[in-house]
Structure 1
Amino acid sequence: MVPIDKVVVSIGGSVLIPGNNDSDYIARLAEMLISASKEVQLAVVCGGGKTARYYASTGRELGGDTYQLDIMGIGATRLNAQLLGVALGDMPVRVPETVEETANASKPGKIVVMGGTEPGHTTDAVATMVAREMGADRVVNATAVDAVYTDDPRTNPSAERIPEMTIARLGEIVYKEHDASRSSVFDPLGVKIAEECRIDISMVDGRDLIELEKAILGKPFNGTFVNSH
């Protein structure tokens, strides 16, 4: 039997629950993931999005420190994982809380969904940790933008789109400082793990399910391919 690719999808909370036909999108996302899982072995890591940002900002106003804000953010990611689980028809009563738990539960035809793990680790970093533990071929980062740019295209119209890049180049772009609820192109720890383990990263608009599915299946897609080899 020919071994199938193992893929970890890191899907941002801002993609899952931006407040824009969320239930319709999540239902279609689940349908696509179920279809894709017939061809690749899938694990999904959900981000916290606006729910995490709300608790981070409110908690900060109340005097919370970074550790406390991270704990609340992790709770938000696990809520989002359960929400996706509902759409997949398999909502976990308890979402996997460790990378090892997710990797051990992963098998062909079964989609394992999790959120964050511990303070200081973003869900992008967690996704690459899961990929390392599973021996995955790639991480697909489903984001709110359609590719990696030289700057934020939402604020800088002159930002240049980068269709393909090396993992070293990505490392030069990402933020170097972790902060609760802060958003960046990709987590620097995740980049380091991907580089060390030669895990490719695909950046794609998470709401474009056609392109997202192509990236998951390892087909040419409209986004940014980060080559780790």
Structure 2
Amino acid sequence: MTASKYKRVLLKLSGEALMGDDAFGINRQTIARMVEEIVDVARLGVELAIVIGGGNIFRGVAPGAQGMDRATADYMGMMATIMNALALQDALKRSSVDARVQSALNIDQVVEPYIRPKALRYLEEGKVVIFAAGTGNPFFTTDTAAALRGAEIGAEIVLKATKVDGIYTADPKKDPTATRYSRISFDEAINRRLEVMDATAFALCRDQKLPIKVFSITKHGALGRAVMGEDEGTLVHV
């Protein structure tokens, strides 16, 4: 990699992406591979912030959460994202990358609270900033948190890392004739009810003119190619 198209990006990592082939939890080999790609991007001089989900950890307690009050379950999910954020921070530090975790929930003994000016300063200093606990509110997904934090920090693009290499005309696992969109507008993505991101996140990014790139984190080098603006995944634009 020689040059990046974007100076500041927001990477949205799903908790499920950390599982690898495991049923739930964190697969160490998977997170180590992801960290290698994050390190490569950071060394390009890209200011990188990350919003991480918690579905991999919360999935392990999902049977016990059935029938639970939605707000309570959402707060449990937020705490799962903090666990993932700490694991990612530790893996980055082991690779000599300085990382900071900021949480929308106050757990001062464990992580810093989210403070926008401090997050911006960390990014300018070349640190990776990991945003945990979503928006801090129930009923809002970590996709919405990614759109919100991306807008707040002035990111040039939101990189949505999934296990699928973009947005398709149909589910590629069920329909072998499905084709990948190279580009698609926010309005079309919302009207087609594409479920790669929730409608609130799409609408917020559309209103802020903040593009989204959907790509597969399981493809080697895909993150770097997305940062350099290559034809990787699907670009969702105004």
- TM-score when scaled to structure 2? 0.80
Equivalent residue number for residue 137 of structure 1? 156
CA distance in structure 2 between the partners assigned to 1:87 and 1:53 by the alignment: 22
Q: Please show how residues 12-161 of structure 1 align to structure 2 within 5 Å.
A: 12-19=14-21, 22-38=27-43, 39-60=45-66, 63-89=67-93, 90=99, 92=101, 94-95=110-111, 98=114, 100=116, 102-103=119-120, 105-115=122-132, 116=134, 117-161=136-180
One-letter identity of the residue aligned with 1:34: V
% of aligned pairs identical? 29
The CA deviation at 1:94 is 3.1
What is the aligned length? 215
The CA deviation at 1:107 is 2.6
Equivalent residue number for residue 181 of structure 1? none
- The answer to which of 103-112 and 204-213 deviates more is 103-112
List per-residue Cα deviations over 1:70-125 (Å, max 9, x = no partner).
11111111111111111101575734554736456433411011222321121111
- The answer to which of 97-106 and 190-199 deviates more is 97-106
The CA deviation at 1:11 is 0.7
CA distance in structure 2 between the partners assigned to 1:107 and 1:208 by the alignment: 29
CA distance in structure 2 between the partners assigned to 1:131 and 1:160 by the alignment: 29
8 A Cα contact 2:34 2:217, kept in partner: no
CA distance in structure 1 between the partners assigned to 2:159 and 2:41 by the alignment: 13
In structure 2, relative to structure 1, the CA distance for the partners of 1:221 and 1:55 (3 Å cut) is farther
- The answer to which of 200-209 and 149-158 deviates more is 149-158
**1:212 aligns to 2:226 (yes or no):** no
List per-residue Cα deviations over 1:173-204 (Å, max 9, x = no partner).
346xxxxxxxx310211111110111110000
Secondary structure in 1 matching 2:221: helix
Task: Note the aligned Cα RMSD (angstroms).
Answer: 2.5
- TM-score when scaled to structure 1? 0.83
In structure 2, relative to structure 1, the CA distance for the partners of 1:122 and 1:209 (3 Å cut) is farther
One-letter identity of the residue aligned with 1:224: T
8 A Cα contact 1:8 1:43, kept in partner: yes
- The answer to which of 77-86 and 155-164 deviates more is 155-164
Structure 2: stretches of 5+ with no match in the other structure = 1-5, 94-98, 102-108
In structure 2, relative to structure 1, the CA distance for the partners of 1:96 and 1:226 (3 Å cut) is farther
One-letter identity of the residue aligned with 2:91: A
Equivalent residue number for residue 10 of structure 2? 8
